[in-house]
Amino acid sequence: MMDRQRLGVNIDHVATIRNARGGMYPDPVRAALMAEIAGADGITAHLREDRRHIRDEDIEALVAALTIPLNFEMASTSEMQEIALRFRPHAICIVPEKREERTTEGGLEVANDKNRLSDFIKPLLDLGCRVSLFVEPDERQLEASAEIGATVVELHTGAYCDYHAEGSNRFALDELARISRCSVFANNLGLEVHAGHGLTFENVSPIAAIPQVRELNIGHFLIGESVFVGLDNAISQMRRLMVEARL
């Protein structure tokens, strides 16, 4: 049996529902605490530049309330760097961000932006944060991530999930093979490997089964599923699938 894979639960979309009406509920911190009880190993939250879901005060409240690690997702801007340095989260995941996108499309361009990113992550690493780069499963990006001293890479599973949902099985298998190969490659470079984006009960097992993948970060599907079965049941079922995939 392989070692236990961590599950990070992304609570951004609890804030999306709250913000649809303004006001105070549903409260993402309450969701985070419930996720913790249901067996999440960490909580992920993305403070977007436009604050469309998580807001600065949510990050502050999460830092104060959580006893499990917070993985703070952010773009590589000086505003976000300052916020990260203030809150000192356990982990920071750097993601690309475009204002007009609905969700994080594609991975971070590390190879062509090495000097800037290296300078950007240095103070975060110096503070003791685990710094993760959200990248496509692409050897060039992984090599560059290792070169600039990142601790972790999170492999973008969005393309795999899209092909899977469309029933494009051959493309989904090709993409899975790429994620698998890149997980080995990154692990050999000394990077810890995480994966996420678009994962559901239907598509999680082959990703969870990759031995080098130490953590999955899952949000949108779990929050949606919780409407029907409750957040605790949705998380337990996801955990069960992850465990079974690694038996």
Q: Is 73 a catalytic residue?
A: yes
Write out the binding residues for ligand PXP, residues 34-63 only, by CB under 6 A. Answer: 46
The two most distant CA atoms of the chain are separated, in Å, by 48
Residue 218 near ligand PXP by CB under 6 A? yes
Strand partners, 153: 133, 193
Structure-token pair, residue 192 = 């810890």
Question: Cβ contacts of residue 62 below 8 Å, gap of 6+?
Answer: 28, 29, 32, 43, 45, 70
Segment contacting ligand PXP (CB under 6 A): 14-22, 174-182, 195-203, 224-232?
195-203
Measure the CA–CA gap between 198 and 209, rounded to whole angstroms: 16
Judged by DSSP in three states, 200 sits in coil
Q: Which of 102, 111, 130, 71 is nearest to 198 (CA)?
A: 102
What φ, ψ does residue 2 adopt, rounded to 5°? -80, 165
| Contacting residue, 42, 219, 225, 226, with ligand PXP by CB under 6 A | 219
Please identify which of the residues 73, 97, 175, 225 carries the catalytic annotation.
73
Give yes or no for residue 199 binding ligand PXP (CB under 6 A): yes
Catalytic site includes residue 220: no
Q: Assess 217 for contact with ligand PXP (CB under 6 A).
A: yes
Which member of 97, 194, 197, 225 is catalytic? 197
Q: How far is the CB of 1 from ligand PXP (least distance, A)?
A: 25
Residue 193 interacting with ligand PXP (CB under 6 A):
no
**What x-and-dash track marks residues 9-28 binding ligand PXP by CB under 6 A?**
-x-x----------------
Q: Is 225 a catalytic residue?
A: no
Instruction: Return the exposure string of 153-168: e unless at least 16 CB atoms fall within 10 Å of the residue's CB, then b.
Output: bbbbbbbbbbbbeeee
Least Cβ distance, residue 196 to ligand PXP (angstroms): 3
What's the CA gap between 143 and 158, in Å, rounded? 21
What is the C-alpha to C-alpha distance for residues 222 and 201, in angstroms, rounded to an integer?
A: 9
Site for ligand PXP in 94-153 (CB under 6 A): 95, 103-104, 134
Please, which residue, 163 or 221, has the CB nearer to ligand PXP? 221
The contact pattern for ligand PXP, residues 66-95, with x = CB under 6 A and - = no contact, is -------x-------------------x-x
Instruction: Tell me whether residue 1 or residue 209 sits nearer to ligand PXP (CB atom).
Output: 209
Task: Indicate the residue type of 227.
Answer: V
Options 169-177, 178-186, 213-221, 239-247: segment touching ligand PXP (CB under 6 A): 213-221
What's the alpha-carbon Rg for the chain, to the nearest Å? 17
Terminal C-alpha separation, the chain: 5
Active site members: 46, 73, 197
The site for ligand PXP (CB under 6 A) is made up of 10, 12, 46, 73, 93, 95, 103-104, 134, 154, 196-199, 217-221
